[in-house]
Amino acid sequence: MHTINIRNLFNIRRPQIALLLGLSFIALNTSDVSGQNIRRKHLEYYDDKPIHYGILFAVPFTDYRFSHNTDFLTKDSAFLVESPKTAAFRMGFTINAFLNDRFDIRTTPSVSLYDRQLRLSYPNGSSQITKRESTWVEIPLLLKYKSKRRGNNRMYMIAGCSLGLETNVKRNRGGNSAVLDTRTSDFTFDYGVGFERFFEFFKFAPELRFSHGMGNVLNPSTTANTMGIKNLRTHTVTLYLNFE
């Protein structure tokens, strides 16, 4: 009985076998890669709408930036003044207006709960904390520059100004040495960077924003806790979680 040899039956030589195996391997890999590259683009026509709305939650880290006056050396009993960075909470909503493929106008009206502090240290080793616990309504106006969208991802940068107004004002605050006497309005320069991720039904955008106060928020006062301070400005770094 003759032994059946598949290679002889079809007249297939070794080079041909190697070529067929190689082509099969390439074909399988190509179909695999093609399947991986076909990704669904969520909210494909998102930028066709002129205005988008959303909500935001944020965690600001805030402190004061200040400068001393001449009374700090001659009249102030404290030898060191510091402003510890404190965490706060912010929530609000987003309004984003489309300008073109690269720029948007954006505002994020929000309510923030702050606890800004000054810590005074004295030569005898004691210290005193004077603070301002307050609720602020903040309304920024921002210009947003966005990169080209890559699938479901996009980067952006923002810059602009923000107006802040304190809402829970108590007129007699300045009489208490433990309460910092500051103005009830603030104007800041804001800038930041963010990342947009498009999902099937919404867009998620974490963002890091920096805010620098442009005006002196310290009320003229003769109390000991601010005697040596000439200028007091707010400074805030905020992590945003935006949902649109």
- Look at 35-49, 112-126, 224-238 and tell me which has the smallest mean pLDDT: 35-49
Higher pLDDT residue, 226 or 193?
193
Q: With 0-12 CB in 10 A as exposed, 13-18 as middle and 19+ as buried, what is 100?
A: exposed
Please name the amino acid found at residue 79. Answer: F
pLDDT single digits (tens) 143-198:
999 999 999 999 999 999 999 999 987 654 545 556 788 899 999 999 999 999 99
What average pLDDT does range 5-15 have in this prediction? 51
- Residue 33 is predicted with a pLDDT of 41
- Residue 173 is predicted with a pLDDT of 52
Q: How big is the chain, counted in residues?
A: 244
- Tokens representing residue 231 in the block: 């200028």
pTM of the shown model? 0.78
- Residue 178 is predicted with a pLDDT of 67
Do 147 and 175 touch, CB atoms closer than 8 A? no
- Residue 1 is predicted with a pLDDT of 47
pLDDT at 241 over 50: yes
- Tokens representing residue 37 in the block: 């590259």
- Tokens representing residue 179 in the block: 């309460």
Buried b (16+ CB within 10 A) or exposed e, 166-186: beeeeeebbeeeebbbbebeb
Distances (CA, A) of 228 to 21, 34, 65, 107, 174: 84, 69, 14, 37, 16
Which residues, other chains included, contact 235 with Cβ-Cβ below 8 Å and sequence gap of 6+? 62, 63, 64, 65, 211, 212, 213
Do 80 and 118 touch, CB atoms closer than 8 A? no
- Residue 139 is predicted with a pLDDT of 97
| Neighbouring C-beta atoms of residue 233, cutoff 10 Å | 17
Measured CA to CA, the distance from residue 9 to residue 227 in angstroms comes to: 104
pLDDT at 35 over 60: no
- Residue 9 is predicted with a pLDDT of 45
| Neighbouring C-beta atoms of residue 225, cutoff 10 Å | 22
- Residue 13 is predicted with a pLDDT of 56
- Residue 32 is predicted with a pLDDT of 44
- Residue 123 is predicted with a pLDDT of 83
Measured CA to CA, the distance from residue 212 to residue 231 in angstroms comes to: 14
